[in-house]
Amino acid sequence: MSRKPNTLELGFLMGWHGVLSGAFIVAFITMDGPMNMHRFAGFVVIFAILARLLVATMAPVDSPLYVPRPSLSGLVSYLVQAKGRNPLIAWMATALLISIGMASISGLMADAMRGLDDFHEGVAMVAPIVIGAHIALVLLGHWMKSIRKLAEPASATPQPMPQTAPIAARDQARSRPSRPLKF
């Protein structure tokens, strides 16, 4: 079961998503433009993926930085019980890393070997579809969490909030009858 990320983990995940998505967007936009910028962005994507995999290998199993292995049994178990970490995250992470990684590595190989340009372009065109599915899955997960919270039963008797002394004194002062204003 995964826990919520601490400040350092959240900072790494947000920064990593920013670097990866920014570099991929630059590479995608410059596919027919300046090749030096396109290549550099591709190298940044490869570096970001390798950095993420390195961090995932060092992270403890309960960490949000850990990337679990995809498993069909885990997926079936989650769909039945709906508890714990969503195993679709592992499947989506694998699909993302493979599609974006293949797009970057095939681009690196296309520079060295002629004839791989079409393969590189084809793989690069599939990656935005996988990225869109990733975004949709994240939004769906947040939506399902909010639905579950709304479906949870509220406590039978609401507990009154304890009043602190300054608030109680202020409330008591407000309840005194006031004198009429003289003009």
Give 81-98 pLDDT, tens digit per residue: 766 667 777 788 889 989
Within a domain: residue 2?
A: no
Q: How many domains does the chain have?
A: 1
Query: How wide is the angle at C-alpha 30 spanned by C-alphas 28 and 34, nearest 5°?
Result: 155
Contact 16, 51 (CB under 8 A): yes
**Does residue 183 form part of some domain?**
no
* Residue entry with tokens 């989506």: 92
Q: Is residue 158 part of a domain?
A: no
Domain that holds residue 42: 7-153
Residue 102 located in a structural domain:
yes
One-letter identity of residue 66: Y
What are the pLDDT digits (tens) for 123-166? 999 999 999 998 998 888 788 777 777 777 665 555 665 655 56
Burial class (CB in 10 A: 0-12, 13-18, 19+), 131: buried
Residue 163, in any domain of the structure: no
- 3-class DSSP state of 70: coil
Would residue 178 count as lying in a domain?
no
Q: Which two tokens stand for residue 134?
A: 């990733």
Of the chain, the end-to-end C-alpha distance in Å amounts to 70
For residue 69, is it within any domain? yes
Q: pTM of the prediction?
A: 0.71
* Residue with tokens 């995809």, as numbered in its chain: 70
CB atoms within 10 A of CB 6: 10
Q: pLDDT tens-digit profile of 4-29?
A: 888 898 899 999 999 999 999 999 99
Query: Is residue 4 classed as helix, strand or coil in its secondary structure?
Result: coil
Judge whether 9 and 64 are in contact, CB under 8 Å.
Answer: yes
* Structural domain includes residue 174: no
